[in-house]
Chains A and B, each alone.
Chain A
């Protein structure tokens, strides 16, 4: 009985470790995406602004400024949606496999889908 409990405890610890890893990975990825998106939008906006200040390409510069703001919104929405997709994928496949109740028989089955793929 104790052996089984120990085994389950190990599995839960493994699961928590994997969950932490996954959370930090998703957070870091999202932050990087947000920073890069912000940088890109700032570049677009400043190009449009500089063009309008230099009175060059007067027709395009306000459109570029407006477009950069729209792109910022699109990026934000896309990043949120991607994070949601990542989370759903994680809950559906990886987390379900981590549940010790789902795989009682085989010791190998607690491996995540990612590890299985690698194998």
Chain B
């Protein structure tokens, strides 16, 4: 009795502590916003004044008016910030918005582990380079030939930066390919290929190549006289590029996150490439006119309503094969982290495919058959290894896919050319296979001593059956 009361008291205390912690965090966020507004308004005012003064330099006739306007706008920004900082309601609203933005960034980072570094590389490398080039171009009046005296002043600087850049480019290529190859290549070569083509890698390599190209052109043919500061700018940006390359290399060691990224990336490709059938069979006058002049360029895949084109299914199966191979290797090595990442990636691909496939009304599906077979193999392999937690994840995965399979053969009504609404036949033949697979998982995990797979299978089965009955 005493232990029960103690447990209750502890639980209540934990809840209260949680609430207090939540309140403290909220208040802290509001305080941070209170002071951040002060600095943001300052930077905004500086930006407005500097931009205004720069523009005023170009339009000498209205320079006084532009300068005065920029100062007034800056003052309004500062005053508005100062007055709103005292308003608690404003701070609360801003706090909610900030929370939403942070949540969105976190979601984005979960999907794409290199996204933050990609944004940093754009902000710290590409934008400064473009601004510098634009400013230098604007203040150039003549072309400096390699024979001129001014050119000879900077030639030493260019020559000293050149080998540094070449070394950086070599190091980037070696590091990126080595890290992705050694950490992801052991699971699947295609997976390593997907990650190495990430924009963060590509942008850094292109940046180094572009810098080298700029310096080479300058060395061979000379450059405009405004570009005298170009070597110094490139030198500073190269150091930033080197730091970013290091950070990206360190980050790309995380194989699990890289596999999850691959899943989201492949899902994005499926969503982009696979077309939904046209919702309306009616042809508009616009397209009729274009067809009359042999310019009807609508995608023919959109006029198949029963089953998606074979090439789409093949593509999805190819993607799933890559991810299943990585997951199978993870089972062999007993790596739960990679196994979970692989299942998450597969689930994302399946979700993307189901989203598009749901518009077709055929109840049979090649991709889901393939998925069922591979998941069964995965489940049996997971039940045989020493890490008994893997089977639980595999059963959960089967449950999720089973729920998704209910969308197959459940297409919406289609309006035909004669305004006849066609009600498609509905059926969930595939879902039964998945319920069967969950049952297999139950049987396999029953023999295990340290696994909650059987309970998970029971929940998944009950859930799937309920969803199945609801859809009928």
Whether the pair A85, B83 counts as a contact (CB closer than 8 A) is: yes
Q: Does A33 contact B (CB under 8 A)?
A: yes
Whether the pair A82, B86 counts as a contact (CB closer than 8 A) is: yes
| Chain B 56-102 residues near chain A, CB threshold 8 A | 57, 71, 74-75, 78-79, 81-83, 86
Bound Cα distance from A44 to B229, whole angstroms: 22
Q: Which residue of B lies closest to A40 (CB)?
A: B42
Bound Cα distance from A37 to B35, whole angstroms: 11
Q: Does B455 contact A (CB under 8 A)?
A: no
Bound Cα distance from A33 to B79, whole angstroms: 12
Whether the pair B38, A71 counts as a contact (CB closer than 8 A) is: no
8 Å CB contact of B71 from A63, A70, A86: A70
Answer whether A71 and B45 are a contact pair too, CB < 8 Å, given A36-B38, A40-B39, A78-B82: yes
| Stretch of B47-55, B201-209, B269-277, B440-448 that contacts chain A | B47-55
Q: Which residue of B lies closest to A117 (CB)?
A: B88
Whether the pair B74, A70 counts as a contact (CB closer than 8 A) is: yes
Bound Cα distance from A16 to B233, whole angstroms: 61
Majority SS of interface residues in chain B? helix
Q: Does B135 contact A (CB under 8 A)?
A: yes
Whether the pair A79, B82 counts as a contact (CB closer than 8 A) is: yes
Count how many chain B residues have C-beta atoms less than 8 Å from C-beta atoms of the other chain.
24
| Chain A 14-59 residues near chain B, CB threshold 8 A | 33, 36-37, 40, 44, 56, 59
| Chain B 366-401 residues near chain A, CB threshold 8 A | none
Answer whether A56 and B45 are a contact pair too, CB < 8 Å, given A67-B50, A81-B79, A82-B83: no
Whether the pair B78, A74 counts as a contact (CB closer than 8 A) is: yes
Q: Which residues of A contact B86 (CB under 8 A)?
A: 82, 85-86
Q: Does B46 contact A (CB under 8 A)?
A: yes
Q: Does B143 contact A (CB under 8 A)?
A: no
Q: Does B239 contact A (CB under 8 A)?
A: no
Chain B 313-355, CB-CB to A under 8 Å as 1, else 0, gives 0000000000000000000000000000000000000000000
Bound Cα distance from A77 to B78, whole angstroms: 9
Whether the pair A56, B229 counts as a contact (CB closer than 8 A) is: yes
Q: Which residue of B lies closest to A77 (CB)?
A: B75
Q: Which residue of B lies closest to A68 (CB)?
A: B46
Chain B 28-51, CB-CB to A under 8 Å as 1, else 0, gives 000000010011001001100110
Bound Cα distance from A75 to B38, whole angstroms: 10
Closest Cβ of chain B: how far from A28's Cβ, in Å? 13
Whether the pair A71, B78 counts as a contact (CB closer than 8 A) is: yes
Closest Cβ of chain B: how far from A40's Cβ, in Å? 5
Whether the pair A63, B39 counts as a contact (CB closer than 8 A) is: no
Closest Cβ of chain B: how far from A116's Cβ, in Å? 14
Answer whether A33 and B50 are a contact pair too, CB < 8 Å, given A71-B74, A74-B74: no
Q: Which residues of B contact A75 (CB under 8 A)?
A: 42, 78
Q: Which residues of A contact B178 (CB under 8 A)?
A: none
Q: Which residue of B lies closest to A73 (CB)?
A: B75
Whether the pair A60, B54 counts as a contact (CB closer than 8 A) is: yes
User: Could you list 29 examples of A-B contacts with CB < 8 Å?
Assistant: A33-B38, A36-B35, A37-B42, A40-B39, A44-B42, A44-B46, A59-B139, A60-B50, A60-B54, A63-B53, A63-B54, A64-B50, A66-B49, A67-B45, A67-B49, A71-B45, A71-B46, A71-B49, A74-B79, A75-B78, A78-B78, A78-B81, A78-B82, A81-B83, A82-B79, A82-B82, A82-B86, A85-B83, A86-B86
Q: Which 3 pairs from chain A and chain B are nearest by CB?
A: A67-B49, A78-B82, A82-B82
